[in-house]
Structure 1
Amino acid sequence: MNDFDTSNPNHFKYTTELLDFHILGGLTTFGLDRMRVTLKVNRIEDEFHAYRNNIDLYNANSVEKFVRKLAEFLEVGTSKIRRALQVLIAELENYRLELLDQVENEEAEEYLLSKKERRSASDFLKSKNLLEKTNKLIGQSGVIGEDGNRLLMYLIFTSRKMNNPLNCISFGSSGSGKTHLQSKIAELIPEEERLSLTSLSANSFYYFKRTELKHKLILIEDLDGADDVLYPLRELQTKKKITKSVVQKGIGGQGKTKNLTVEGPVSVAGCTTQESIYEDNANRSFLIHIDESEEQDEKIMMYQRQLSAGKIDIEEELKAEELLRNVQRLLKPIKVINPYALYLSLPRAVFKPRRTNAHYLQFIEVITFYHQLQRASKFDLQTGEEYIETTLEDIKYANEILKPILLRKSDNLNGATRNYLEKLKTYLDNKGDTLFTNREIRKEFRIAESTLRRYQLLLLQEGYIKRRKDIDSDSFAYEIIDANEFQELENSINSALNFCIEKMEAQTPLSKETK
């Protein structure tokens, strides 16, 4: 009587009246055109006298050679071995097909909200001051500080459900908490709708199933180790589809070309310490600069102390996480129309305005999308398509959240250098002086000489500081040219955004005409 045992996924056993077959290492479900296994075969009465071989059971020539060598080694008739192998191959085929069906069913399963969970999520989405409550709940889930960045990142992750998702890249020095922030916000997204990647090869993205990544959040912990996949990532972000042609063996061993296509859209988030290297990817993303201030350091350290002292209610954090995940599950794809779009314009100081303008409009749509349970559904008279409309409040919210982003987009300096310059201004203002030396700043800020020289060189090139010779000490000192330039830039952006709001508010007939 034949016995096929798959209880151990790494060691299958198949027993006949005469022989024991051991399939070591299990069976892969990738590539149904082959069945490569590692076999160990012995007579039942002598398990130590065994023949081992790695073989493709779909290769007839290899199987025939294997049968002859095994028959000679174990002194068993070839007909009995052939018959046993045929039964074994059939069992392995059935097992592999069952595995594939199991995987497909698992992927198709969706988390079903209970009535209580659905009611709680619905009540939350219908509540007043939704964004403020969302931001507060994010804080309750264990995200410390980063008030603006955490809400921005949560809304960007929410956009994965839309046809034009947004992306983000988090910048910060080593140990600043950029990966921690991304992973904590990602925990507020349902597990079945996110994919976290740590190790990637050049062809990784091409071997997902066609719709496996559709409307998913892709998280990359360290962009510095993902150079090979930056191009397919950009294609997924921009074209919402990637395709690669590969050659596979067909019937008779002939080569056959096959196109591997993976569809988006996807929302991509990554972290890096190197702001200038990923320009092509950064142009497609919101740039989030981690708060590295002393105040933020103190908030984090206080949380760590409270956690160590058992003063943090972990159950409350988990409840906040679960509610936000259920809120995400309740949101459904729906078209958003912004009737105020023609009245919107970016501040002139913004660099690369075309792509920034697209991101600005998409972010407004995300806020409308997030408020979908508070918006009346409308239908296109020609197509019958359902949609919701953006309100002035949505635009005001977007402007408030995006001011820091637009400010960074309008700045000649990268984030690290700007942070250094603003810290330097504060130091000199408290000191009541305008001059400083490299030695003084290195000692005061505890900063590496190479890093300081890099900052100083860029500031000199861009005209933010000037070098002056100190006659008394015969050394160089530096002076900030305009201590108010950043504040003036911020004011100009605020004025431009406020002007648009005032112009739209003056268009009183607008809402009636568009509705």
Structure 2
Amino acid sequence: MNVPARAGLPANSPAADSDAITLDPPRPVPGKPGVFTFVSRTDEPLHTDEFRPSVASRVTKFVHETLRKAYPALKEGEWPVGVAARLEKQFIAWAISPPESPKQPSGSSPDAADPRDAALDRMPKDICILAEGYLENPMMIERISADIQDAGVVGERELALALYLVGSSAQLPEPLAAVVRGPSSSGKSFLVETVASFFPPEVTLKATDLSPNALYYFPPGELRHRWVVAGERSRMENDERAEATRALREMISAGRLSKAVAVKEADTIVSRLIVQEGPIAFVETTTLEDIFAEDANRCLIFNTDERDEQTRRILSATASRAAGKVQNQPARCRAIHYAIQRMLPRTNVVIPFAPDLAALLPASRVEERRDLSKVLRFIRASALLHHRRREEDIDGHVVATLADYQLALRLAACGLDAARSGLSDPARRCFEVLCDRFGRNEFDSIAAETAAAKSRSSVRAWLSALAQRGFVEQTELNKGPNPARWRLTGQEPESAASYLPPVEKVKDKYLSRKGSDTKS
């Protein structure tokens, strides 16, 4: 039944047609007999909840929330006639005959039903042709960067591209994970949300908050090859928080979760094993200077640009938009990127020069083990995104090139710096100012604030972070009106540029090894 568009609802809105609102097949909730997860949607999910379809009050509430989200510009009395009745009729059918767990065909692989395939088939041909052009263009990275800027992101080009690679890595066996750090109002949430908007709904899973057990109880297979876009990280960094993120760390590292739970069936308590398959790519934001080490070790940590020049760029861009000087087609552009992501194959990537890169890395710190893993994952993400311009081996795997390592050096190195040293970019800049201004001389907190030309709270937080990592030490405590005194220790934070070998070195070692292999 087609319903005319109402006031406040565009005629081309998916919800303008009442038949566009559908219900996904219900998924049983593990450990809760008779309870199902229900999802209403148009092209994208509208509302999700867990309940028994026989409970009329829950059905009514679910339908009401669905219509409220489908028609945000309309009041309840203005919703299209018959939509609620149609949805409630489906719930009545499920209450009479409860749905069964979907069974996977015998012998089929876990990835047999890739939801991107059906979505790609429904896309307009002209959009698919444009997406093919992107994938075959040697300047694809620059085009992606320009599209993100056109969507409203100002500056932050390298960080935005890095996040795009993180999202693209979701289709790999070992995706990337990232944390975007910055103070309030630095634009980190807007940046993450804008980049994530270039990915189709069957790839992204947006969750502003994740409870400790949330990942276990998604419908089976729901997390497989998804980019989990989380909200702001909790400001609590204690043992309780560490336990709360344990499942997330396991999913990022192993790509799979399993948990034994006790459930009551009839009059008996039995144990059931809940298994949740990944893998997932992951991103979250934070204002914290210090991030729990076990989480930080698994992620690339990026910092937003807090410099005055970036603030000036944002002010200018905001003014231009207000003056009507910015013109773009965000919907069409995002459709092209949806097609790009749906065209990425789920395959492995081989890195023929990986042994040479590993041999050139220092082995003086255990952090090198995880740093190499992060770099290799980023190289694979770049090769996957450029798969149309890469060769395949005899097994059909994409073969990475040194151009992918070059992109990893360009985009991922700063993410390694923050994870390795534990310092944000502003804390590093504060350290550089202190070195230039005071050298080996002592200084007090007020002098540090004056030298850094930043707020008292910011400078003292940076001094605390620098002291925790051994770059400065406190020589006198704050006593009454007398500020605390400090001095530099002589240690300096490492940068990825100091230990990641340049492309030419890796190339020379690779060619030398290949030549030796050929002779032998």
The structure-2 alpha-carbon separation of the partners of 1:408 and 1:454, relative to structure 1 and needing over 3 Å to count, comes to closer
SS at match of 2:260: strand
Correspondence for 1:289 among 303, 313, 326: 303
CA offset digits 1:350-394 (Å, max 9, x no partner): 761111111111111111111111123332xxxxx3112112222
Query: Does 1:500 pair with 2:513?
Result: no
In the aligned structure 2, how far is the partner of 1:91 from the partner of 1:399? Answer: 54
In the aligned structure 2, how far is the partner of 1:91 from the partner of 1:454? Answer: 56
TM-score normalised by length of structure 2? 0.69
CA offset digits 1:307-327 (Å, max 9, x no partner): 111111142x44333322221
The structure-2 alpha-carbon separation of the partners of 1:92 and 1:133, relative to structure 1 and needing over 3 Å to count, comes to closer
SS at match of 2:209: coil
Give the deviation of 1:490 after TM superposition. 6.5
Query: Does 1:453 pair with 2:460?
Result: yes
CA offset digits 1:179-231 (Å, max 9, x no partner): 11111111111122111112333322222111011001111111207946411
Correspondence for 1:368 among 383, 386, 389: 383
Moved more, 503-512 or 117-126: 503-512
SS at match of 1:191: coil
State the partner residue of 1:37.
55
Correspondence for 1:336 among 317, 339, 349: 349
Alignment of 1:186-225 (within 5 A): 186-224=196-234
Correspondence for 1:156 among 143, 151, 166: 166
Alignment of 1:40-79 (within 5 A): none
Structure 2 letter corresponding to 1:501: K
Moved more, 410-419 or 370-379: 410-419
Structure 1 letter corresponding to 2:446: R
Structure 1 letter corresponding to 2:206: S
State the partner residue of 2:283.
269
Corresponding pairs, count: 422
SS at match of 1:378: coil
Structure 2 letter corresponding to 1:94: A
Give the deviation of 1:153 after TM superposition. 1.0
8 Å Cα contact 1:349-1:410 kept in structure 2? no
In the aligned structure 2, how far is the partner of 1:96 from the partner of 1:218? Answer: 32
Correspondence for 2:368 among 335, 338, 353: 353
Give the deviation of 1:136 after TM superposition. 2.6
Give the deviation of 1:173 after TM superposition. 1.4
Give 5+ residue unaligned stretches, structure 1.
1-6, 10-26, 40-89, 380-384, 469-473
The structure-2 alpha-carbon separation of the partners of 1:256 and 1:292, relative to structure 1 and needing over 3 Å to count, comes to same
8 Å Cα contact 1:138-1:321 kept in structure 2? no
Correspondence for 1:119 among 102, 125, 129: 129
The structure-2 alpha-carbon separation of the partners of 1:491 and 1:106, relative to structure 1 and needing over 3 Å to count, comes to closer
State the partner residue of 2:119.
110
In the aligned structure 2, how far is the partner of 1:170 from the partner of 1:91? Answer: 43
In the aligned structure 2, how far is the partner of 1:399 from the partner of 1:242? Answer: 32
Give the deviation of 1:287 after TM superposition. 0.8
State the partner residue of 1:438.
445
State the partner residue of 2:79.
none
Correspondence for 2:273 among 259, 267, 272: 259
In the aligned structure 2, how far is the partner of 1:512 from the partner of 1:341? Answer: 18
Structure 2 letter corresponding to 1:214: R
Alignment of 1:470-481 (within 5 A): none
In the aligned structure 2, how far is the partner of 1:150 from the partner of 1:350? Answer: 30
SS at match of 2:234: helix
8 Å Cα contact 1:403-1:493 kept in structure 2? no
Give the deviation of 1:293 after TM superposition. 0.9
In the aligned structure 1, how far is the partner of 2:396 from the partner of 2:504? Answer: 31
Correspondence for 2:188 among 178, 181, 192: 178
Give 5+ residue unaligned stretches, structure 2.
1-18, 22-33, 39-49, 58-88, 104-112, 477-481
In the aligned structure 2, how far is the partner of 1:220 from the partner of 1:500? Answer: 36
Moved more, 217-226 or 261-270: 217-226
In the aligned structure 2, how far is the partner of 1:149 from the partner of 1:511? Answer: 39
In the aligned structure 2, how far is the partner of 1:412 from the partner of 1:188? Answer: 30
The structure-2 alpha-carbon separation of the partners of 1:142 and 1:238, relative to structure 1 and needing over 3 Å to count, comes to same
Query: Does 1:139 pair with 2:152?
Result: no
In the aligned structure 1, how far is the partner of 2:209 from the partner of 2:123? Answer: 33
SS at match of 2:211: coil
In the aligned structure 1, how far is the partner of 2:452 from the partner of 2:471? Answer: 22
The structure-2 alpha-carbon separation of the partners of 1:183 and 1:349, relative to structure 1 and needing over 3 Å to count, comes to farther
Correspondence for 1:402 among 399, 407, 412: 412
In the aligned structure 2, how far is the partner of 1:510 from the partner of 1:118? Answer: 45
Percentage of matched positions with identical amino acids: 23
**What is the alpha-carbon root mean square deviation over aligned residues?**
4.2
Give the deviation of 1:478 after TM superposition. 6.5
Structure 2 letter corresponding to 1:142: G
8 Å Cα contact 1:336-1:368 kept in structure 2? yes
The structure-2 alpha-carbon separation of the partners of 1:177 and 1:211, relative to structure 1 and needing over 3 Å to count, comes to same
Structure ID, larger Rg: 1
State the partner residue of 2:93.
94
In the aligned structure 2, how far is the partner of 1:173 from the partner of 1:399? Answer: 26
SS at match of 2:245: helix
In the aligned structure 1, how far is the partner of 2:315 from the partner of 2:365? Answer: 36
SS at match of 2:141: helix
Correspondence for 2:333 among 296, 302, 320: 320
In the aligned structure 1, how far is the partner of 2:511 from the partner of 2:458? Answer: 48
SS at match of 1:408: helix
In the aligned structure 1, how far is the partner of 2:465 from the partner of 2:271? Answer: 51
SS at match of 1:224: coil
8 Å Cα contact 1:289-1:415 kept in structure 2? yes
The structure-2 alpha-carbon separation of the partners of 1:361 and 1:438, relative to structure 1 and needing over 3 Å to count, comes to same
In the aligned structure 2, how far is the partner of 1:367 from the partner of 1:34? Answer: 45
The structure-2 alpha-carbon separation of the partners of 1:117 and 1:349, relative to structure 1 and needing over 3 Å to count, comes to farther
SS at match of 1:169: strand
Structure 2 letter corresponding to 1:194: T
SS at match of 2:202: helix
